[in-house]
Amino acid sequence: MNQNRRDFLRTTMLASLAGGVGLGLGAPGRALAACTTAPMPRTLINLMLYGGMDSRFVFMPSPSHPDTAYLDKLWAARRALYSSSYTDYATMFANEYLLTNDPGGGPSFGIFKQCGWLKSQFDQGRVAVVANSFCSRNRRHDQSQLNANTGEPQYDRLIYSRDGWGGRLAEQCGASVKTVELSHEVSVFAQGTDTGDRLKQVVHAQDTRNIALPNEDPTSPRTHRKNVLARALKSYYEARGEETSGSNSPERVFFQHNAAFRALGDEVEARLDACGPLPAELSGLSLNSGHFAQQCRNLYDVCQSPDLFNVRLMSMRYNGWDTHHTQHSRLSSNLADVFGANGGLATAFQQIDTLPGSTNQPGDQLTLFVSSDFGRQLIANGNAGTDHGRGIYTILLGAQVNGGVYGEMFPEREAVADENGRVPLETSGADILGQTSTERVLSQACEWMQPGSAAAVFPNAASSDVESPGLLDNLMSV
């Protein structure tokens, strides 16, 4: 086996053994058809930006913003994040942001220039930006990331062996439904409620083009070392499988895993072989993060075989958003990878909609939820960066999203004195004030995915915080 395949097998097997083996990955007898992409079911993709993204950096008010006092204070608070050659806000904005308009009638604003695909999707009405939201009430990476993945902003214990909101939603969608993890490790987001088998509805697809367990290569001599090892491994499991299938031997889980995983791997490999190599746009995709580029390739392949994976949810991640220093250069590369016109998501979605033999528009069946552990503070620190904050702007993207801005994007309160006489944009440590729980956002997405599921997945959503009553009632076209 090559190194990628060996690492993949090791991490997948360890993941399944940690939670039990009830994988149900597919029946070995399923027909391996030619390249005919099955219809894509409604599928929710959770993209977690680890490290705490400064979402205010992505969205900034237009120089024509009606509150000039707000603009003056905002520029004073954050000008250190940009080049010192910018003498005023208007010059900075013209160089750094792409102007757009809120279809809901709010003030015009800018989307950071490295987010060209995000801007184009917003202009098409496919992006909802939920301002002043929060997925955690603290500023600790570990706890906030756990809170985001469990969908419980108030959760105050650091326990990773528990269910995530994706795992709960998968269970509501049906026992055969899978959450497919596309990154290097399975997130808490995907874990289910069965304490003895939290991964039974999870498939770890770290490298879809090396997903199959090794078989003989007919193009190589039978005596080739890899062919000999492949035969020996397969023969071993076939010989021992019946011996252990009805026993309580601890070895049983290995044999069950081998059978289930070999069946899925062979089916996926056959489908991808029939459909041919990755499009050149994806095979040659070069991003600052090779890890994210690989996830985008995996995303394409899963959309090429949704019936084999039984997929309804997927999980992706991008690390490196903890920008205490040199924020502009670091966020520029990150945002270009994720949201750029030639970035990973733009490339993957473009190719997904050209899948051969597809009977629907696959990309229109995908809804992308983007969040981060927490936000950043309003005022730049002394190192051209920002420190940990709380409030964020949550992004929901897809054909069924009613696009626009939800909530007050640039609240007047940030530029006026509070009850203690402090102006947030002039006070070190001030955050975006989180007023809408992501429970509210995600409960709407759950109903789009599986009507009637929200109450089970987010039982506290109805009583959770929201900036104004009814704000998110029309977030999705269910």
- Three-state secondary structure call for residue 444: helix
Average pLDDT of every residue of the chain: 89
Average pLDDT over residues 112-140: 97
Residue 255 has pLDDT above 80, yes or no: no
Average pLDDT over residues 153-174: 97
Q: Over the stretch 375-433, which tens digit does the pLDDT of each residue have? A: 999 999 999 999 999 999 999 999 999 999 999 999 999 999 999 999 999 999 999 99
Residue 161 has pLDDT above 90, yes or no: yes
Residue 295 lies in a domain: yes
Residue 300 lies in a domain: yes
Between residues 53 and 30, the one the model is more confident about: 53
pLDDT bucket at 228, cuts 50 / 70 / 90: low
Residue 241 has pLDDT above 90, yes or no: no
For residue 287 the two structure tokens come to 């991003």
Q: How far is CA 302 from the centre of its chain?
A: 14
pLDDT bucket at 173, cuts 50 / 70 / 90: very high
Residue 133 has pLDDT above 50, yes or no: yes
Contacts of 331 (CB under 8 A, 6+ apart): 53, 54, 57, 112, 114, 321, 323
pLDDT bucket at 244, cuts 50 / 70 / 90: low
Average pLDDT over residues 366-373: 97
Average pLDDT over residues 360-372: 92
Residue 130 lies in a domain: yes
Strands 178-181 and 59-61: unpaired
Residue 193 has pLDDT above 50, yes or no: yes
How many Cβ atoms are within 10 Å of 196's Cβ, its own excluded?
Answer: 8
What pLDDT, on the 0 to 100 scale, is given for residue 219? Answer: 80
How far is CA 355 from each of CA 39, 276, 348, 351, rounded to the nearest angstrom? Answer: 11, 11, 11, 7
**Residue span of the structural domain in which 459 resides:** 38-210+277-463
Residue 263 lies in a domain: no
Strands 311-319 and 178-181: parallel
What pLDDT, on the 0 to 100 scale, is given for residue 10? Answer: 40
Q: How far apart are CA 136 and CA 140, in angstroms?
A: 9
Degrees, nearest 5: CA angle 217-222-227: 50
pLDDT bucket at 475, cuts 50 / 70 / 90: very high
Q: Over the stretch 326-351, which tens digit does the pLDDT of each residue have? A: 999 999 999 999 999 999 999 999 99
Residue 23 has pLDDT above 60, yes or no: no
Closest by Cα among 8, 464, 451 to 203: 8
CB 431 within 8 A of CB 378: yes
Percent of the chain surpassing pLDDT 70: 86
Q: Over the stretch 272-295, which tens digit does the pLDDT of each residue have? A: 999 999 999 999 999 999 999 999
Residue 347 lies in a domain: yes
Length of the chain: 478
Q: How far apart are CA 302 and CA 323, in angstroms?
A: 32
Spell 386-423 as b/e; 16+ CB within 10 A means b.
bbbbbbbbbbbbbbbbbbbbbbbbbbeebbeeeeeeee
- Three-state secondary structure call for residue 433: coil
Residue 217 lies in a domain: no
pTM of the model: 0.90
What pLDDT, on the 0 to 100 scale, is given for residue 230? Answer: 59
CB 394 within 8 A of CB 115: no
Q: How far apart are CA 287 and CA 333, in angstroms?
A: 9
Q: Which CATH number goes with the domain that contains 387?
A: 3.40.720
Q: How many domains does the chain have?
A: 1
107, exposed or middle or buried, with CB in 10 Å at 0-12, 13-18, 19+? middle
Residue 474 has pLDDT above 70, yes or no: yes
Q: How far apart are CA 192 and CA 189, in angstroms?
A: 9
Residue 269 lies in a domain: no
Average pLDDT over residues 84-91: 97
Instruction: State the Rg of the chain over Cα.
Output: 24
Q: How far apart are CA 379 and CA 335, in angstroms?
A: 20
Residue 478 lies in a domain: no
What pLDDT, on the 0 to 100 scale, is given for residue 223? Answer: 79
How many Cβ atoms are within 10 Å of 55's Cβ, its own excluded?
Answer: 24
Residue 3 has pLDDT above 50, yes or no: no
Between residues 379 and 219, the one the model is more confident about: 379
